[in-house]
Each structure stands twice: as C-alpha cells, then as structure tokens.
Amino acid sequence: MRMGPAELVQAAAMARRFYLEGKSKIQIAEEFGVSRFKVARVLETALERDLVRIEIRVPAELDAERSDALRARYGLRHAVVVESPAEEQDDAADPENLGEVAADLLGELVAEGDVLGLAWGRSTIHMAAALDRLPPCTVVQLTGVYDAGTAERGSVEAVRRAAQVSGGEAHPIYAPMLLPDPATAAALRDQTGIARAFEYFDKVTVAAVSIGSWEPGISTVHDMLSDEERAHYASLGVAAEMSAHLFDAEGRRVGRDLGERCITVEADRLRRIPEVVAIAGGQRKAAAIGAVLRSGLVTSLVTDTAAADYLLTESAAGVRPALERADPDGE
C-alpha cells in the first residue's frame, strides 16, 4: 500500500528522531502519542519503502565482512582484515599497511598505565614506526633481536619509538634472540638490563607479535639456524613460529628445546597476557597464521585479505576459540 503524505511526514519525523537524534522508541511514542509498537512498525516500513537508507561505511582498505567472519570463526577478540596489495609478490613479507592498521589498533587497545610488550618482527617494526598516539604506558621488549648488529633499526628502536610516542619508560633488550647454547642464553638472562626487562613480562597487558612460516625469508628463527637444525625441527612437523616458539599445524608446540637457547618471553607468560595481537599476512604465511591461532597464545589478529581467504576456507577441525587461551603444551 502507498503511504499518504501524512504517513510519509510522520515516518520521516520518527526516523529522524530515531536514527539522527538518538531517541528511543518509547520517547518517540510519547512525543507522537502512539504505542512503541506503532513506532517500530513505522520505522520498519520506512526501511522497506526506501524512505530511510542505512549505509555502513569503513575506510576502503578495511574489509569489514571478512574481519567479522574471521573473528567469529576463530573466537578472537578483534580481527582486522586489510586489502592485500594489488600486485602481491609470491615471496613478499607482510604487507607494510598491516603495521599502519596495527598501530591504530594499539592506539585503541592500550590504556594509560598499561605495559605494552613488543616482540621482534618486520610487522611489529613497521607498526612501531607508524605509531602516532599511545596513552602513557611502559614499553618492554619481549624478544632479543634478529642480529645484535641491527638493534638500531630493529626491535630495540621499535621499543624506543613506542615509548617516545607514549611518554613512558622503555625497557629494551640488547641481546640476540638466538644463542649458541642454553648456558650462554641463561648467562645473558641474568645480566642486569635483560633481567630487568624479564621482570616486566608478567606485568604486560597488551602485546604485539609477529608470525613466521617455516621457510626461508618468512621465519626469523628458520634463517638463524643451520641446515641440520632446520631439518631436525622440520622433522618434528613445525609449521609456524612466533617469538622463537615453534608450532605444528594443530597449534601444538614442538621443538621446545629451542627456547632454552633463546632470549624470549616464555609461552606460558604469553598465554597469561590479557591481549596478544598477532600481525601477519600474505599467502605464504596463511597456514602458519592458522597454526598460531590454534595455539591459544593470541587473542586478536591483524591480517590481509589473501591470508583471511585461506583462513576462512580451511578445515574447521581443531579450531578452538582463541579466547579460551588453551595451553599449547597440553595434551
């Protein structure tokens, strides 16, 4: 049925009150002297007759539909999917725009007085460089660096940058991530500066981490090991690494002995951090991201459409809600 002019005017007025002025249906009903059920019917009719158009708009680089689907599928607190580069290279690392979006997300998640933890990774370094707002917080480095000689342009600089933006304290770690043997790693952990950073690990409230797949150029740890060591860990079924922790395709930790040689936050401490944001994307990392999501160590993800499409179509077997924070060392 056609709406007469009086009905059209009334519907437009009610819609304006509801959608633009934020009034409740009860308030509108009282103003117009009708029941709230009548108001609900009028608003529904206004939508059906195209009198009101609701448009949901997000920045072009964000894919809201994939983001919500990914969040629901893996039980994440936050999932943000950005458009992959138009011409993604097969051997490309994480798209740099992931760091920019992750920087904005941290600006939302970090509150005054929080302790922010940053793990080594290209994506976290890009994120730190893009930071332009953070409330006052303490920033601590969660892993050693890829190579001690790159500290000024790596994770140490990322920690300094984040602390500068927030105006808080910085606790960097001046040490390599991987050491020749457990004894050397243990000795370094006892050094004053490194021990001080480790003391903050249990206080971290928000952490940003990277993910690598077990192949050259896509995993920091893979590239630091000898051919023999790589073959050994590959034989254990390693599919992904995060902060020097190795995972098989089901998210279980493998090769735990490697951690004894590394300067890194322990897996159990990571699991106790309230918010752990993983930043990783690209087709070559997609399976690795899925493995880490199954580990129970992360709560949120910033990724791209290339990885998201894989994650949304892979088998749901073994997928547990990330917010359950399952123990990756459990049986």
Percentage of residues in the chain having pLDDT higher than 90: 61
Closest CA to 215 of 247, 238, 243: 238
Q: What are the phi and psi torsion angles at 230 (to 5°)?
A: -60, -45
Confidence at residue 150, expressed as pLDDT on a 0 to 100 scale: 46
**Contacts for 10 with CB less than 8 Å, ≥ 6 apart:** 32, 42
Q: Residue 328: pLDDT band by 50, 70, 90 thresholds?
A: confident
Average pLDDT of the residues of the chain:
87
pLDDT in tens, 53-112: 876 665 657 888 899 999 999 999 999 999 887 655 544 566 778 888 999 999 999 999
Confidence at residue 316, expressed as pLDDT on a 0 to 100 scale: 66
pLDDT > 90? residue 154:
no
Is the pLDDT higher at 192 or at 218? 192
Confidence at residue 167, expressed as pLDDT on a 0 to 100 scale: 95
pLDDT in tens, 251-296: 999 999 998 999 999 999 999 999 999 999 998 899 999 999 999 8
Report the predicted TM-score, pTM, of the whole model to 2 decimal places.
0.80
**Contacts for 112 with CB less than 8 Å, ≥ 6 apart:** 135, 136, 137
Is the pLDDT higher at 15 or at 330? 15
Query: What's the one-letter identity of residue 219?
Result: S
Determine how many CB atoms are found less than 10 A away from the CB of residue 73.
Answer: 17
Beta strand 78-82 with 170-171 is unpaired
Mean pLDDT throughout 198-216? 93
Query: What's the one-letter identity of residue 231?
Result: A
